[in-house]
Every structure is written in structure tokens, then in C-alpha cells.
Chain A
Amino acid sequence: MNWKLDDSMPIWIQLTEQITKRIVSGVYPLGEKLPSVRELAADASVNPNTMQRALSKLDDDGLTETNRTTGRTVTSSVDVVNDVRNKMAEQQVKRYLDGMAQLGFSNEQAKEMIELGENDL
């Protein structure tokens, strides 16, 4: 697993974000059991308490559920996941449009650039 972490910001926030991305993109499918805190921490080479804090946030956001016997599983609710996915997508769009505006592009022109860009992919 690749974890891109920046040491100048709290790690747990970055971990929450990256695991969220994996959940919404289906890398961790709905209802799937997540590895243990310790395993994830070792995989990311981070402190287990840090990972625990990141995972607790996921529980708070409703993306995961923790059960004493079964451990932590991704939610089976498609709605919750789609909701988060859409919100993240909105943020991406806003980021893109803001960035393009800084370069002097209008929103219309920014949209055109996407279509052009798609052809290159």
C-alpha cells in the first residue's frame, strides 16, 4: 500500500483522508473487514495510536463500523459512501476551478480544457 504522508501536518488527518479515498473508490469494498489497527499502522509505518485516531474519525463519519467481535468493517450502506464520494468530488471540482481561475480561465473554458484533456488520456 502506498501512503503519501507529510510530516508537517497531523498525520492522523492525512490517514483518514487516504483511507476514505480507498473506501469511496472501492479499494475497500462495502462491508469488507479492514485490517487491524496494528497491521495498518505497521503497513503505513505510523504510530498505532495515530492510526487509531484516524480510524475513529472514519467511525464518526459513518464510513466504518466497529464491533467488538467482528472488528472494523466498511459500512454496507451505499448511500453513505456515495454521499462522501460526491462531497469529495465537489471539493475536487472546486479546487480545479479555483486553480484554473488563478490562471485566468473562466469556468466555461475550464470545462473545455477537461474535454481536451480527456482525449489525451
Chain B
Amino acid sequence: MFAKLFKYEMKATSRIFLIAWPALLILALLNGLLMNTNAFWYQPFSTAIVQVVTMIAFIMLFAAVVVMTMLVIIMRFYKGLLKEEGYLMFTLPVTTRQMITAKGLSATVIAVASVIVGSMALAALAMPSLSPHEIGEVLIELPRALARIDGWYIYLTEIIIMGIVGTMATIYQVYAAMSIGQLAQKHRVAWSFAAYVGISILLSIIVWVFGVTFPIAETDIYTYISTNLRRGELSTHFIIIAYTVVQIIKVFAFHIVCEYILSKKLNLE
């Protein structure tokens, strides 16, 4: 059942992006090829206009993809579960847990994909203006710079995982806020916003309290490090992993909030 739900979510959310993403990449490439920064001011007016227009189009499409990503993620949950469509979704023979997870996972996939496509678009923007010589230089220098950092690939993996889980945590925070908003009788959207802000504040307070009450933790870490490996390196890994774990805890906590509210306190209008 879960696989079916996930597939259904992916199909429904990716429709619009399968047009927008390629469009963005093509527009980026186009811009990159047209751009010729050195000779910009010496071009005939007509070509300059074309460049400016395509650049504006690119910026607009880029902004659109960013907004669309956020909107789609929010709307799939809000409209899909808390409004009329909820009458259909909550009477399907699936558990609330499966429903939330399917939405959360597909939203994360879309968000991450958008980030990747966005980055590729920016790269496509820059690349054509570089000469083959410059590109060659980058391709040689980059591995060398990375190699100077020991175990750079470990860092990279950790950072990627951290990014993905961090995105998931943000998405789930939005879901939890909307679920809390659903508890209200009126002005549910306003309450959802308030809940989101409230949760953020709560999290900040927790972090602050933790930092204030556990300054010793750092001392322990350094004690550990000085008796073991090189100073500084382990703490960097530790920080990244700790942050990632915190994000995972947030995902679970928010999921539990959503599941509790949507299975026990659901009240569709």
C-alpha cells in the first residue's frame, strides 16, 4: 500500500516540474551561450536586448521554480489532506502513518531535486562563458584542492545527508504546523502560521538551553580528541553528524505530532 501511495504522490507532484526543470536548464544554457560579458557594452543594441530578455526570463523562471517547489509541497499536504480531498484520502484503506510518510518523502525528493536542478542551472549559466582552457584548469585544480582535505569524500557524504535530512525536517515542521492549525475551529491558516513560528521559537529556546547547560560537552570532546586523533578534525565530523541526528529527531517528533493529530483529532470541514 505504501508503495502505491508514494508512487501516486510522486506522479501528482512531479508533473509540473518535469516541464519546469528542463525549461530552466535550457534557459540557463541559452543564457550562458549568449552571455559575453567582455563585449557587452560594444554590442549592437539588438543582441543586447536579446541577452537581457533571456536573462530576465531565466531569473523569473528560477524564482518560479523556487516558489513552485515550496507551494507544491505545502499545497499537497494542505489541500490534499485538510480540505475536501481529505474526504477521499482519509477514507482510503491506508494508515495515517503511511499517508504522512508518503507525502513527506515525495516532498523531500522534489525539494532536493529542485536544489540539484537549480545548482546545475547556475553552473550551466557560468560554464559556456569560460574558455576550454579555463575549464581545463578548473577540472585539474578541483580534485587537487579536495585531496588536500583528508577524507573529503566522507565530509561530502555527511554534508549531503545533512542537507537532505535538514530539508526533510523543515518540510515536516511545516506539516506539523498545518496539523496543529487544523485543531482550531476557525482561522486555521492563521493558526498554522502561528504554530510554525511557535515551533521555531521553541526549537531556538531548546538549542539555547542546551548550549547554556552543557558547556562541559565541549571540554569532553576536546579531551577525547587530544587522547585520540588530530585536533579539530573529529569535532568537525561530530558537529555535522550531531546536527544531522538532531534533524532526524526533529523529523520523528514532527511526524508523531502529525500522526497523532490527524488520526485522533481529525475534523474536516
Direct A/B contact, Cβ within 8 angstroms: no
B residues whose Cβ falls under 8 Å from a Cβ of A: none
